[in-house]
Structure formats: structure tokens, C-alpha cells
Amino acid sequence: MSGNMNINLKVWRQKNGKSQGKLVDYKVENVSPDMSFLEMFDVLNDRLINEGKDEPIAFDHDCREGICGSCSMYINGRPHGPNQGVTTCQLHMRSFKDNDTIVVEPWRSAAFPVIKDLATNRSAFDRIIASGGFISINTGNAQDANSLPIPKGDADDSFAAAACIGCGACVAACKNSSAMLFVSAKVSQLALLPQGAPERATRVINMVAQMDAEGFGSCTNTGACEAECPKQISLTNIARLNREYYKATLFSNEG
Amino acid sequence: MSKIDSKIPAGDLETKWTKYKSSVPLVNPSNKRNLEIVVVGSGLAGSSAATSLAELGYKVKVFCFQDSPRRAHSIAAQGGINAAKNYQNDGDSVYRLFYDTIKGGDYRAREANVHRLAEVSSNIIDQAVASGVPFAREYGGLLSNRSFGGTQVQRTFYAAGQTGQQLLLGAYSGLQRQIGLGNVQMFARHEMLEVVNIDGKCRGIIARDLISGKLERHFGHAVLLCTGGYGNVFYLSTNAMACNVTAAWKAHKKGAYFANPCYTQIHPTCIPVSGDHQSKLTLMSESLRNDGRIWVPKRKEDAEAIRNGKLNPNDLKEEDRDYYLERRYPAFGNLVPRDVASRAAKERCDAGFGVNKTGEAVYLDFAFNMKYKYGKQVATLKHISNPTEAQLTEFGHEVIKEKYGNLFDMYKQITGVNPYENPMMIYPAVHYTMGGLWVDYNLMTTVPGLYALGEANFSDHGANRLGASALMQGLADGYFVIPYTIGAYLANEISVKSISTDHEAFVEAEKNVQSTIEKLFAVKGTKPVDFFHKRLGKIIWDNCGMSRNVKDLTKAISDLQALREEFWKDVRVTGEANDFNPELEKAGRVADFIELGELMCKDALERNESCGGHFREDHQTEEGEALRDDEKFKNVSAWEFKETGNWDLHQEELVYENIKIAQRSYK
């Protein structure tokens, strides 16, 4: 078909968490511009299986519509590739040119160890949420949903923070491997809602402590996280987290 | 053929659930601590069930194949969740939600279950809001609603086009809290590959650690399958890549009846297929039909000119457009139920009016409402009395962006076309499966101690699910049904000590799983797993998709039997068993899908009528609507597995005491 491309890939191959990895060259021919980046990997993997020499490349993916947060490729030095506000699965080959060379690596962070090839272990994020990213209510004792009006602006800001998909691009983008954007998104979502108020202080203290315990780096406000976030979570959330944290440590009984 | 008992409690429909709840045996807190429950799947049903049961004091283990419970496919639900709150003062009630759901399901759902669902719908919204779900709100601070198909009230709560995400993250945060408290043990990247039955009761599962490849045995006094639907049997669907039927299918082969497998939902508004490389299809939420008008050209020559790129659809005059849903169904217009809208799109495209290169697409057009509904509203607010067309578009653009921004972005990413300037092109695609494991009123399958919740069961949507009802059902089952109904079983289990996983039933189940894995590797064939999956999908889509007939279904069954044979002779599974191996995972799932496909066709063949999503060409009205046969088929088909390719059919009679059943009309 006209307009189809040949693409040169350099892909990180690593047998498992213990072995050494390396970049391996693959040429993928006749790539349609309408293909998604992951569909190009499907085509390559089909070929690798047919050839029977190399194992197919392992990578995380699931919904392929930009919402589950599974996909996680570090493409030409940028998490999720060249486009803003887009996950790897929603990146399409029309964003590349014929004969482009594309380097594909897994997320880079000690807190996200490689499992195999491009798949990493991001369970640290789950543990951070388990340390305080919730409202402690049990099923069945909620009051009527409209008994607590929430200003639309607050609800909208809370939603914008809650749009985080937990993919880890913020960590991968950060030179310090900081998870501040991720943590601040959850802290902000709940701090902006009256329902989150009772646990405001404990939440931020516990989540920051868990974040540190997981080995994520510190935030130096470079802003790479915001620039690379596929859901365009705002850096303002980090400022809010800092405010919440200082308030909690200085003025609450929890500090 | 035998009749099966759904254990619906006696009494009036309106008070049945309340009375039953008060009479279900209870388990006291100290006994709960000794009772273990295995929950498979961490979507809305699984997360909410696990959390609620852990809060009650049970010991819970949760399994999901994703790397985190937050990634279950509920996350991708876009449009909204229904609840009979009547916040809009537009006449909604529990009865109306109940009625709409039964009618929408084309009178093939169970009255008692659906009424219970409608009753608890309000609590779900309260629960979600209390757990921090940021639903859309109006300026006064109260919750906003919109309309979905098959209803004439506004009862759908939403969070932009990411309602599933926000609800799942709400349920997930509750689950993480219970994990942090030590009440739930989480097993991510674990796939259930077998259920373990001991003395006629389900007592646990075999799961594979997807990283190490090791098989594990897990005991439970009860097992809950919250493993979603089987839409990926079609290969191309709006489901996530790894959605599968394996857990439900293993349960089916161990005694759980599979109900109504032929009831699948083809969603009318999905982005059309672009080429052979396509790995999945993407939904454009039904909520878009609030403001998007569906049309094709009135004249075939215009359709052809559009297909050839000689005519820009924006230039086609109003009078030359056929808004066929508004024409055929004036009362519901663009908001007819999904099965009706899908068939209408197929009818127009088959007749030669399709608007993309393949001829399989219709328009979903926002221009009218963008300008004349929202643009005018904003202009009025701004006190502009004679706005220009450009101003109207600009103002309307902002409103549309706020309502549907993420969906419009997604459309642009995938197609490369800007939907603010051009009408969207859409076509029906597989989205949801109403069929699933048969369950009684308590959500228990035909295997004692084995339950199915959410999309994995069959119970609430009949032959067609209404939009925004899947999230409602998943959370209803998990938050508000199973915590009560499981007591009916577990109250009798309090004296049962945890059974050692050295028990011979566990040993044997693990051996079976091991041998299936070895068998898959041993084939050493020539074709990748996806090759078979694509062929399977094509057979099912062509013969058991939007319209079905005896000849095609009969042929499909023999084609599928041949495909099954070929799969086991020629599949190539690379890598090793004791390793992270996505190819092996896929191979097991596709093997199960092929078997399921055969049952779907068999069920579609057996059901000699049309109803909801099951459209048999030999059973239609003069106007081309689904024609039911209530004499013979006012029932649930529940299939019992005998051996591969061989099933016994059982039936559950559906009794309508509170609704007068009629030919469905949306005119």
C-alpha cells in the first residue's frame, strides 16, 4: 500500500530481572500509518514466532484505548513517545516517517524493576495507594449523594487529578525517578473533596512516607513529569501536595 | 432437559429483597474470621465484593491477571452509571428503572433480580460519592445527569467519558485500604486456571503466577468469579486485549451451567475497522448519542461520492440526509437501545449507504447541537442576541469539549480526523456479553460455593443490556448483593476447617493444569496463537454476529470443530512454562474461546426466535424488528458441559408477574 513505511527498531531485550539486557535491532517493513505503535509490535512478534529464532518481545498492554495504564514504552527517550497527552497504545505510526530509527526501552527507575524485556513491576504504586490513597468508609453507611453539595470548580479539579492512570510515565520521565506527580494526583483528588477532609493529614503523611520507602527519588520541580504525562496531570498538584504535607506536619497532631 | 430452580424468594416484587435480606442466615463476626473467600477478578464486581466482604471480617484473597487490580477492564467504561435517584424530577422511580431494563432486555431477564438491581442502584451512587468518586456536577454543587438509550428520563451519572475509570478507582482504593489493613491478600499477575471441587462443593482454585510461571493452590470456603465477559471470542471487540472466558469456562467444565451464550451486545457506536493489522476496536460512548445525530445520505450516489472522497459530508444539505433513527423511531430517536441502533446501521450499510471506504460506517454528527443547542445557550448567557454561525460554533465547541473532550481526543488519535470539524464515522462492534455463568438469586452457580458476579454472570440484562447498566450491575453485585446472599451458604460452613491444599483434589486439579500447559507446548506447530484467534473471530462475527440464520450457524459449528482440531495440531507456543510468557497465556485463552464459540452457535441455533441482540433472520417482523416466540422461548437456556463439543440443555422458565410482556416498541 502506498504511504506504508519501513521502520528500524532498537528494542531492549532482557530475559528477566536478574539477567543483563541489551538493545536488539529489528526491521519492520510495510508499516501502515494507521497502525498503532503496539500493533506494529504485534506484527513484529508474529514474525518472530514464525521465524522461530527469537522469543516474541514481552510488553505490558491491555485496553489499548489509553485508560488502563498498562502500556509503558520509553520511545526515543520519552515515555509514551513523541506526542503529548497520549499513551503508547494510542500513539499511531503516522507520527513517524519512513526509515525512522526508533529506540524502545522499558520504564527507567529502580523502583520499577524490569520483569522481562519492556515489562516492569509497578506494584510500588499500589502500595502507595494502600498506605492512604482512600477514604475510610465501609460499604453501606454512605449518606445521600446530594446531601453534600460540592462546588463545580472543586469537583472538576478533583476529577482532573483523578484522571491519573497510574502508568508511571511521570517516574520514568523524571531524572530523579520521583513519584511526586502520581502521589500528588491522588492526594489532590481527595483533598479537594469534603469527603476526603477527615483523613487529610494522615493521608498525605503516610503516602509520602510510603513513596520514600519504595525508593522513589525527590522532586526538584523540573516539570518533566507534567510534560510527559499522557493524562496531562498538572504540576499544580505537586504544589498542593507540598502545601498539604507542610500543613499536616506543622499543624496537625499527626506530624 | 430439566428445569432449574432460581431460588427466587416468595412475596411481592417490591418487598421481596428487603424481606429476604432480613431472613438470610447471618455469620457471626468471630466465625467470619475463619471463613476464607477467593475472589477472581478485580474489576467493579470483584473489587467491590472483596472490599465489602473484607470489611465484614471474612478472610479474602483476590486474584487478577493484570499487573495491578486498578487495570481491570471496568476502567474503560466511558458513559455512565444508572440509578433511580430521580434527582431530575423527571418521573424516574425504581419501578421505571426496573421496567426499562426488562423491556430493554427484550423480556428475557429475571424480574426479581432486575428489581433488586433497581432498588440498590441509589445506594451505589451514595457509596461511590462517599468514597471520593468525582462525578460531574452542576454549578449548584449537585450531581449532574444525562440520558442513555432505551430510557426517557435522565438517570445516568457520569464523570466526563471516564465513568468506569472513576468508579473502578473508587472501588480499587477501598480494596487497597483492605490490603493495607491485612484483610485482603492480593495476587496480581496471577491467572486462575482451574476450580477445585471437593465433595460437590467449590473449595478453591489453581492459579498460575504469570511472572514465575509456577502453579499455586488456593483454598476458599467459597469462590467468586468476577471475571467479566467473553466478547473477545470475536477477536475484534471493544474489550481489552487480555479479557477472556478462561475462568468462567474452567468453572463451566467443572459443573457450572453456562446461560444464554448467544446473547452478545454489538454496540452501535464504535470506530470502524481500518485494516488487517487491527488488534482491537474502540468504543465511542453511547452518551454521545445525547448530542450526536446519526445519519447517512438519502441518495446512494451521494454515499458513493463521499466514499470516493468527492463529496465532503459537511456540504451535504440537510434535506439530503437520512437521520434514519429519528425517522424510524420518533419517540426515542437517536437514543434507541443498542441492538436496535446497531441493526439499523447494518441495514443502511448493507443497502449501500455506508460512508467510508469499506462501506461499513455511518455518521455521528455533532454540528447541529454544537451550534444550535449549546452555542445558542452560551450566546444567550453572554447576552449576544444575533450570534454569527462562527460564534455559535466557537461557543458550542467549548461545551462539547467539556462534556466529551476525552472521547473526541481519542477519536482524533485513532483516526487522524478532527471530530469537532467533521462528523464522526462509526460502526457497530462487539462490546458486552449478556450471557454468562448461570446463577440463582444468590448469585451462586450450579456448583455450591461457586459464585459469579458482574458481566461474568447472565442474570440482569436479558437479551440486550441498556447503556450505563453494566457498571450498575457490577457494583450492585459486589457492594450490595453478595455481602448478604453469601451468608445463605457460609452460615452452614462455619464448622468447616480450612482444607489443606495437599488434598488430592488440589493435587489432581494442578496436574490437569500442568498437563494442559505441556500439551500446548508439545504441539510445536507452525502458526502463532493470534492466527487462530483471528480465524475464530471471523467465523463468529460472520455467522453469530448481528444477524444469524440456521444455515450459517450449522456451518459455523462444523468450522469451529475443525478449527479446534487444527489448533491442537498446528499452534506454536514459544518460550517456556516457568517464565513470564504472554504467548502461553494467550494460547490457553484461545483454546477456551474456540470451545465457547461452538456453544454460542449451538445456543443461537437452538433459540428459534429473535430477541434483543440475538437476531435470527427467520424471525423478524415486517419492519425488520426482532420477533420473539414467547410460547417456546420465555426461558433461560442453561447449558451443562458433558464433554468437549457436547452439552445438555436445561431451562429456567421466566415468569412475568409484574410486567405485561409485549412486542418491544421504541416508535
Q: Taking CB atoms and an 8 Å cutoff, what residues of chain A touch B278?
A: 39
The verdict on B46 touching A (C-beta cutoff 8 Å) is no
| Amino acid symbol at B49 | A
Beta strand segments in B410-550, E: 424-433, 436-437, 450-452
The verdict on B480 touching A (C-beta cutoff 8 Å) is yes
Judge whether residue B1 has pLDDT over 80. no
Task: State chain B's mean pLDDT as an integer.
Answer: 96
CB contact (8 A) between residue B137 and residue A155: yes
Judge whether residue B46 has pLDDT over 80. yes
Q: Which of B55, B531, B572 sits opposite A139 (nearest CB)?
A: B55
Angle in degrees, CA B408, B314, B328, rounded to 5: 85
Q: How far apart are CA A36 and CA B234, in angstroms?
A: 20
Residue of B nearest to A72 (CA): B67
Output B623 or B557, whichever has higher pLDDT: B557
CB contact (8 A) between residue A126 and residue B180: no
Burial code (b: 16+ CB inside 10 Å, e: under 16) for B157-169 equals: bbbbbbbbbbbbb
Q: How far apart are CA B658 and CA B15, in angstroms?
A: 13
The verdict on B273 touching A (C-beta cutoff 8 Å) is no
The verdict on B143 touching A (C-beta cutoff 8 Å) is yes
- To the nearest whole Å, the CA of A161 is away from the closest chain B CA by 10
Predicted local confidence at residue B275, as pLDDT: 83
Query: Residue B293's beta-bridge partner residues?
Result: B365
Predicted local confidence at residue A2, as pLDDT: 61
> Taking Cα atoms as reference points, which of A166, A90, A134, A11 lies closest to residue B188?
A166
Q: Which of B73, B134, B483 sits opposite A139 (nearest CB)?
A: B483
Judge whether residue B665 has pLDDT over 90. no
- Contact in structure between A85 and A232 (CB atoms under 8 Å): yes
The verdict on B105 touching A (C-beta cutoff 8 Å) is no
Kindly state the cell numbers that stand for A174.
Answer: 523524571
Q: What is the pLDDT of residues B224-236, one digit of tens each?
A: 999 999 999 999 9
- To the nearest whole Å, the CA of A201 is away from the closest chain B CA by 16
Judge whether residue B2 has pLDDT over 80. no
With a CB cutoff of 8 Å and minimum separation 6, the contacts of B353 are B296, B297, B300, B303, B322, B362
Residue of B nearest to A161 (CA): B134
Q: Which of B143, B165, B280 sits opposite A67 (nearest CB)?
A: B165
- To the nearest whole Å, the CA of B228 is away from the closest chain A CA by 14
Q: Which of B123, B135, B580 sits opposite A116 (nearest CB)?
A: B580
Average pLDDT over residues B313-328: 96
> Taking Cα atoms as reference points, which of B225, B172, B233 lies closest to residue B445?
B225
Average pLDDT over residues A175-187: 98
Q: How far apart are CA B653 and CA B667, in angstroms?
A: 29
CB contact (8 A) between residue A63 and residue B73: yes
Predicted local confidence at residue B354, as pLDDT: 96
Q: Taking CB atoms and an 8 Å cutoff, what residues of chain A touch B162?
A: 67, 163
Fold adopted by A123-251:
Fumarate Reductase Iron-sulfur Protein; Chain B, domain 2 (1.10.1060)
Kindly state the cell numbers that stand for B492.
Answer: 452452614
Average pLDDT over residues A144-158: 97
Eight-class DSSP state of B632: H
3-state secondary structure of B356: coil
- Contact in structure between A14 and A60 (CB atoms under 8 Å): no
| Number of cross-chain residue pairs from A and B with Cβ atoms under 8 Å apart | 222
| Start-end of CATH 1.10.1060.10 domains in chain A | 123-251
Q: Which of A86, A130, A142 sits opposite B129 (nearest CB)?
A: A142
Q: What percent of chain A has pLDDT over 70?
A: 98
Judge whether residue B3 has pLDDT over 80. no
Q: What is the phi-psi region of residue B413: left when phi exceeds 0, alpha when psi lies from -120 to 50, beta otherwise?
A: alpha
Count of C-beta atoms within a 10 Å radius of residue A142: 20
Fold adopted by B267-430:
Flavocytochrome C3; Chain A, domain 1 (3.90.700)
Q: Taking CB atoms and an 8 Å cutoff, what residues of chain A touch B52?
A: 138-140
Q: What percent of chain B has pLDDT over 70?
A: 100
Supply φ then ψ for residue B567, to 5 degrees.
Answer: -55, -50
Q: Taking CB atoms and an 8 Å cutoff, what residues of chain B touch A131?
A: 180
Task: Give the residue numbers of B annotated as catalytic, written as ranges.
Answer: 338
Query: Residue B37's beta-bridge partner residues?
Result: B60, B222
Residue of A nearest to B238 (CA): A63
Q: What is the pLDDT of residues B399-440, one digit of tens each?
A: 999 888 889 999 998 999 999 999 999 999 999 999 999 999
Average pLDDT over residues A157-186: 98
Count of C-beta atoms within a 10 Å radius of residue A113: 15
3-state secondary structure of B507: helix
Residue of B nearest to A141 (CA): B127
Give the mutation candidate from A55, A67, A86, A192 for the B interface (greatest B CB count, under 10 A). A67
Residue that has been written with the C-alpha cell 475510610 in this structure: A136
Predicted local confidence at residue B166, as pLDDT: 98
Judge whether residue B274 has pLDDT over 90. no
> Taking Cα atoms as reference points, which of B239, B588, B580 lies closest to residue A119?
B580
Average pLDDT over residues A186-200: 97
Sheet holding B293-297, edge to edge: B264-270, B424-433, B362-365, B293-297, B321-322
Q: What is the pLDDT of residues B152-187, one digit of tens each?
A: 999 999 998 899 999 999 999 999 999 999 999 999
Pairing of strands B184-187, B59-63: parallel
Fold adopted by A5-116:
Ubiquitin-like (UB roll) (3.10.20)
CB contact (8 A) between residue A60 and residue B67: yes
Q: What is the pLDDT of residues B328-341, one digit of tens each?
A: 999 999 999 999 99
Q: Could you say which architecture CATH assigns to the domain B36-263+434-490?
A: 3-Layer(bba) Sandwich (3.50)
- Contact in structure between A145 and B57 (CB atoms under 8 Å): no
Q: What is the pLDDT of residues A43-89, one digit of tens each?
A: 999 999 999 888 999 999 999 999 999 999 999 999 999 999 999 99
CB contact (8 A) between residue B188 and residue A123: yes
CB contact (8 A) between residue B131 and residue A155: no
CA pseudo-torsion sign A172, A177, A181, A184: positive
Eight-class DSSP state of B373: I
- Contact in structure between B248 and B224 (CB atoms under 8 Å): no
- To the nearest whole Å, the CA of A135 is away from the closest chain B CA by 5
CB contact (8 A) between residue B68 and residue A189: no
- Contact in structure between B91 and A98 (CB atoms under 8 Å): no
Q: Which of residues 63-82 of B touch A (CB under 8 A)?
A: 66-71, 73, 75-76
Average pLDDT over residues B4-31: 96
Pairing of strands A74-75, A101-105: antiparallel
Q: What is the pLDDT of residues B572-582, one digit of tens each?
A: 999 999 999 99
Average pLDDT over residues B56-81: 97
Average pLDDT over residues A144-171: 97
Task: Tally the C-alpha atoms within 13 A of residue B295's C-alpha that lie toward its C-beta.
Answer: 24
CB contact (8 A) between residue B134 and residue A155: yes
Q: How far apart are CA B103 and CA B150, in angstroms?
A: 9
With a CB cutoff of 8 Å and minimum separation 6, the contacts of A35 are A43, A92, A93, B275, B277
Q: Taking CB atoms and an 8 Å cutoff, what residues of chain A touch B582?
A: 56, 58
| Start-end of CATH 3.10.20.30 domains in chain A | 5-116
3-state secondary structure of B331: coil
Q: Which of residues 603-662 of B touch A (CB under 8 A)?
A: none
Q: How far apart are CA A215 and CA A111, in angstroms?
A: 6
What are the DSSP calls for B450-479, one per residue? EEE-GGGB-SSSTTSPPTT-HHHHHHIIII
Supply φ then ψ for residue A249, to 5 degrees.
Answer: -75, -35
Query: Treating both helix axes as pointing N-terminal to C-terminal, what angle do B550-570 and B582-606 enclose, rounded to 10 degrees?
Result: 160
CB contact (8 A) between residue B165 and residue A139: no
CB contact (8 A) between residue A62 and residue B51: no
Judge whether residue A255 has pLDDT over 60. no
pTM of the model: 0.97
CB contact (8 A) between residue A65 and residue B410: yes
Q: Domain coordinates of chain B in residue numbers? A: 36-263+434-490, 267-430
Q: What is the 3-state secondary structure (H, E, C) of chain A?
A: CCCCEEEEEEEEEECCCCCCEEEEEEEEEEECCCCEHHHHHHHHHHHHHHHCCCCCCCCCCCCCCCCCCCCCCEECCEECCCCCCCCHHHCEHHHCCCCCEEEEECCCCCCCCEEECCEECCHHHHHHHHCCCCCCCCCCCCCCHHHCCCCHHHHHHHHHHHCCCCCCHHHHHCCCCECHHHHHHHHHHHHCCHHHHHHHHHHHHHHHHHHHHCCCECCCCCCHHHHHCCCCCCCHHHHHHHHHHHHHHHHCCCC
> Taking Cα atoms as reference points, which of B68, B220, B195, B189 lies closest to residue B513?
B195
- To the nearest whole Å, the CA of B413 is away from the closest chain A CA by 6
Q: How far apart are CA A13 and CA A19, in angstroms?
A: 10
What band does A3 get if pLDDT is binned at 50, 70 and 90? confident
CATH fold match for the domains B36-263+434-490 and B267-430: no
Query: Residue B146's beta-bridge partner residues?
Result: B156
